[in-house]
Amino acid sequence: MRSLEVPESRTKTVLIVDDIPSNLEVVGRHLESHGYRAVVAQGGEEGIERAELVRPNLILLDVLMPGVDGFETCRRLKARDSTRDIPVIFMSALTDTADKIMGFEVGAVDYVTKPLDGAEVLARIGTQLTLDALRQQLQQQNARLQQEIVAREQIQLALQRSNTELEQLAYVASHDMQEPLRMVASYLQLVAERYRGKLDADADEFIGFAVDGAKRMQTLINDLLAYSRVGTKARPFAPTDCAAVVATAITDLRVAINETGASITHGPLPVVMADAAQLAHLFQNLLGNAIKFRGAERPRVRIEAEPVGADWCFAVRDNGIGIAPEYFERIFVLFQRLHGRREYPGTGIGLALCKKIVERHGGRIWVESSRSAGSVFRFTIPLRGHEG
């Protein structure tokens, strides 16, 4: 036999199964002279036993054997968990294509024809061992990935649960605080009206502070309630006409619009799959901010929508004070504000609420702005809707 060095063969065990002892000896010696450990078995039954016992890295299996032939031996090896994954190469004098196909059908990975060529046998063994090592590596990586996926899914589930619990807590807490707070605010107001000028000047001022504080607390609680409602009081999506939703938002903002002389216009707006009440809230917040954070000029706000890829992309553009780029992300975080309460009133919940609404609809929201040219708030809603 011709020889060929196979570098990765050092400690690999090959089981040779053949009914003719001289074949076993020749092939065994050849493999051992190239660094393999050769184990032999005379016939199919013995081959299966040895395979179980030794767990070789590869099996060279003769096809034509008395009793249990090579095909049947292979079938049985492949039926057992312990030997299923050991690659089998048939040794066969058969040249018939049907026999070769049969070999692959019962689970072999390759075959060599008799009389054997030593170099070819080594090359084919080397290739199959490399493939097997790669397959095992892949299997291990897959198993690791599967474990990671399961672990991540568990973390996500736990997160979802605690998020839902938190949302419910925020909802219940703010809901239950509304009533006592309403009492405090209305009685304070009563005191303010009835006793104005009757106590001393300090008292008038203190009562004023208290009324102001109670009012702010009411706004905060209402905003928090709206925020937690996005998850807890969500309504199913239905076809929603954005033009009608914008009209509702404008009506709700009429006081601010009249006070500032703001003009709000829009281009053609689509019908989208959405929770109409939440979409109205979204527009109301964006339009409200566009008016609140106005510059020296009369506020001009323009709403546009256009299909971009798989989404409708909306833009709410204003001519207000603008936002510096370093705050583009921060303003969407709960309670984050760039201005003091005295400059511009607010709770810092509005844009966090907008983000939550947009994300529930399967979209994203971001801002583009420069200090001098106002801001453009953009958000997407999928053209085909989202399961919500």
**Residue numbers at the binding site for ligand ADP (CB under 6 A):** 285, 289-290, 293, 318, 320-323, 331, 337-339, 346-352, 375
CB 77 within 8 Å of CB 48: yes
Q: Which is nearer to ligand ADP, 70 or 363 (CB)?
A: 363
* 34 backbone dihedrals φ, ψ, rounded to 5°: -115, 25
Between 34 and 281, name the residue whose CB sits nearer to ligand ADP. 281
Give buried/exposed letters for 241-270 (b at 16+ CB in 10 A, else e): ebeebbebbbebbeeebeeeebebebeebe
**Residue whose CB is less far from ligand ADP, 351 or 381:** 351
Report, in Å, the least distance between residue 315 CB and ligand ADP: 12
- Among residues 213 and 239, whose Cβ is nearest to ligand ADP? 213
Paired residues of 300 in beta bridges: 263
Minimum Å gap between C-beta 285 and ligand ADP is 6
Nearest-approach distance from CB 151 to ligand ADP, in angstroms = 35
Nearer to ligand ADP, 270 or 295 (CB): 295
What is the Cα–Cα distance from 56 to 78, expressed in whole angstroms?
A: 14
Beta carbon of residue 173, minimum distance to ligand ADP (angstroms, whole number) = 20
The nearest distance, CB 269 to ligand ADP, in angstroms, is: 19
**What letter does residue 117 receive in the DSSP assignment?**
P
User: What's the token pair of residue 307?
Assistant: 């299909």
What's the min distance (Å) between Cβ of 176 and ligand ADP?
Answer: 23
- Taking the least distance from each CB to ligand ADP, the nearer of 36 and 293 is 293
End-to-end CA distance of the chain: 70
Cα–Cα distance measured from residue 308 to residue 78, given in angstroms and rounded to the nearest whole number: 53
Phi-psi region at 14: left, alpha or beta (left = phi > 0; alpha = psi -120 to 50): beta
